[in-house]
Amino acid sequence: MIIAASAPLTVVAGGVTTSFAVTGSLGVPLGFLLIAVILTLFAVGYTAMGRFITNAGAFYAYVAQGLGRPLGVGGSLVALVSYNAMQVGIYGLFGFQISVFLEAKLGFASPWWVWVFLCIIVVAVLGVNRVDLSAKVLGVLVALEFIAVILFDIVSFTASPEGVSAAALNPNALFGPALGLILVFGVAAFMGFESGAIYGEEAKDPKRTVPRATYLAVAIIGLFYAFSAWAFSVGIGPSQIVQASQEAGPDLMFVFMTEQTSVIIADIMTILFITSLFAALQAFHNAVARYLYSLGREGVMPHAFSHTSKSGAPWAGSVAQTIIAIIIVAGFALTGDAFGAADAMFGELSFLYPVLTMFTWLTNTGAAGLVLLMALTAFAVIGFFRKRPGGLSAWTTVVAPFVAGVLLAGMFVMILGNFPLMLGQEEPDATTFVLPGMIIAAFVIGLAWAYVLRVKKPHLYSQIGHGTEPGAYGTELIGVVGVEETGAP
């Protein structure tokens, strides 16, 4: 689930080329390693706190218990906005890729949104079933992604027009003027790595498997992305990779594979690129459903969201996320096609409308929100263990979380400062402020709602962030309503 959300093939094809193109630097491979180090520092306290808290709300519960209930509720709404933005935004690229691929291979022109709505149905069906069903489907897709990228890496080192150069591994390429941009564009590739704790209530041994999964995920993702980014620079040539990325974008990988191998192999990789997007869609859908479940169980959101199916999946949250996706996709489809916004905004490039708006706007917004959440969670670790001293080292409970929190907060500020660049804007416009403003607004609304609950529903307020503990709002009703409706999945 964690690696599926990070979508390895999508990152290597799209994220790596975008980073080279925008930063104009060869430091992208080392940038992935640096981000992996920062997130490993974050994971030290995050996983330690996870031994004491098992909650499908993860960030929400951690912040509530470490920094206070109001900040926890504020963080929960940021999580909902961020995960929904990531999930729905990816639909834009998914629909575009299928539409373009079918037209190129079969001459069949189709609206991008048709494939999105069909995909929403499949994601919804998997979302209301047991998490292990989703995991089996995504496990196969992720394995195929890794095979595809490894094949690309091998071909890149075989081609190496300028030799197997280590130019992209020179620290001077990273620690220069482009360092901030490299981190800003690279961190989005790791979004989803923190989601292991979300599945803690469904894991057989969460105290052991969640920390293991988190550390393994960040290590695998960091090393694999760094190695593949280096391979990319070797395959195209260090002197050409920036210009080639600027000219071809994500298609660079598939053009390269066509030239070096065959059209069939390139087409198979394109199909796997599409399935990579599907895997990420399913993973983020599951994350939203579990957040809604946790918030519904504790009364922060309507209690109906705490309902689970016979298989234990949070079906109410899954259905809610599906409805959200349908509404937003329909809005972009109507605005772009029926009302002509695509032609008005992009002219000859109107076919890129779902990528340049829906995908770019929403995924960057989601990444910004999740970086803010991780910063809050890092500081929450310090607050949590300050009230529960003993047993763990200062490195685990103070030093590593503090350093990670400061670095992540700095990264969030850099994201806000570079938001126009992330959206591909020459000059700021309304979206430059509205999109990150959604994150800030969600946080403020959450804070206000927490104070309302404290005054009007003190019993519910007292349970915020404690949904799995004895006597919590959801657990105390199990005997009356039944495990299928309010119990832990």
Residue 262, number of CB atoms within 10 A of its CB: 11
- Over residues 460-486, mean pLDDT: 52
DSSP 57: T
CA-based nearest residue to 92, from 368, 273, 367, 328: 328
Supply the pLDDT for residue 339: 66
Contacts of 431 (CB under 8 A, 6+ apart): 361, 423, 425
- Over residues 308-318, mean pLDDT: 81
Supply the pLDDT for residue 202: 67
DSSP 395: I
Contacts of 26 (CB under 8 A, 6+ apart): 20, 167, 168, 170, 173, 233, 238, 241, 242
- Token code pair at residue 417: 């400062």
In tens, the pLDDT along 245-259 reads 888 878 899 999 999
Measure CA of the first residue to CA of the last residue in the chain; give whole Å: 17
How far is residue 315's CA from residue 353's CA, in Å, rounded to a whole number? 32
How far is residue 324's CA from residue 399's CA, in Å, rounded to a whole number? 40
How many domains are contained in the chain? 1
In tens, the pLDDT along 407-418 reads 999 999 988 888
pTM: 0.84
Look at 7 and 452; give whichever has higher pLDDT. 452
- Token code pair at residue 358: 């829906």
Tokens 């209530």 sit at which residue? 201
Task: Measure Cα distances from 44 to 47, 272, 432 in Å.
Answer: 6, 33, 34
Residue 482, number of CB atoms within 10 A of its CB: 12
Domain of residue 195: give its range: 2-486
The vertex-288 CA angle with 405 and 485, nearest 5°, equals 125
Residues 423/415, Cβ–Cβ less than 8 Å: no
User: The domain spanning residue 42 has which CATH number?
Assistant: 1.20.1740.10
Question: Per-residue confidence at 56, pLDDT binned at 50, 70, 90?
Answer: low
Amino acid making up residue 79: A
How far is residue 12's CA from residue 4's CA, in Å, rounded to a whole number? 13
- Over residues 226-235, mean pLDDT: 95
